[in-house]
A and B are shown apart, each in its own frame.
Chain A
Amino acid sequence: GEDVEQSLFLSVREGDSSVINCTYTDSSSTYLYWYKQEPGAGLQLLTYIFSNMDMKQDQRLTVLLNKKDKHLSLRIADTQTGDSAIYFCAESIREDFNKFYFGSGTKLNVKP
């Protein structure tokens, strides 16, 4: 399978920006995703980006993709306590669209 890796923890203060990083193995025609999981809940899709894009912005969320380094990041501007959750990076591949490969998740802790 594909390898998707993330750091396990991130702690920020309320109002600061959070940057969550992810690395992935290279495949053609790949979609890359960010999911959010709050305690006791399922996964909620935040945003996704196609591998031929460099950046995608959606309100407080900015996704940056560095294809050369196979690096994906999620920036959350003006982080709030409600953003505290686990964030999963995931990849799917056109040739195998039915399979998603998830990272281990980054637990974001937002301090008031």
Chain B
Amino acid sequence: NAGVTQTPKFQVLKTGQSMTLQCAQDMNHNSMYWYRQDPGMGLRLIYYSASEGTTDKGEVPNGYNVSRLNKREFSLRLESAAPSQTSVYFCATYRGAEAFFGQGTRLTVV
């Protein structure tokens, strides 16, 4: 039982490149989220999916797209990476009053 698994753990991109961050959960939860964490700013919600087949914007959605592939998987795509997207990205899932987080993806855009 892995909980929430994110891949990759680390990534370096050049400005303008694209990539997809993957997230999978084996907890059978409906809700999944993508956050970014920047120093001194806590976690900010990028996108979330309340259930399979639905996605909604969070606080900072610009420059990102998401896909809820099925109940288990929720991916985050950067179509044209920018240095401002250098951050640590966390996927999370939710049950009741609790959120469960993946280990994070550290992304650097140069």
Residues of A within 8 A of B (CB): 1, 4, 8, 31, 33, 41-45, 48, 50, 88, 90, 92, 97-100, 102-105
Residues of chain B contacted by A45 (CB below 8 angstroms): 98-100
Q: Is the CB of B59 within 8 A of A1?
A: yes
Residues in A whose Cβ lies below 8 Å from that of B100: 45
Given A42-B103, A43-B90, A98-B48, are A104 and B97 also a contact pair (CB < 8 Å)?
no
Number of A-B contacts (CB under 8 A): 56
**Contact among A42, A44, A50, A103 with B104 in the assembled complex (CB-CB below 8 Å):** A42
The 7 closest A-B pairs by CB, nearest first: A102-B42, A42-B101, A102-B43, A104-B42, A43-B101, A31-B97, A42-B103
Q: Are B98 and A103 in contact (CB under 8 A)?
A: no
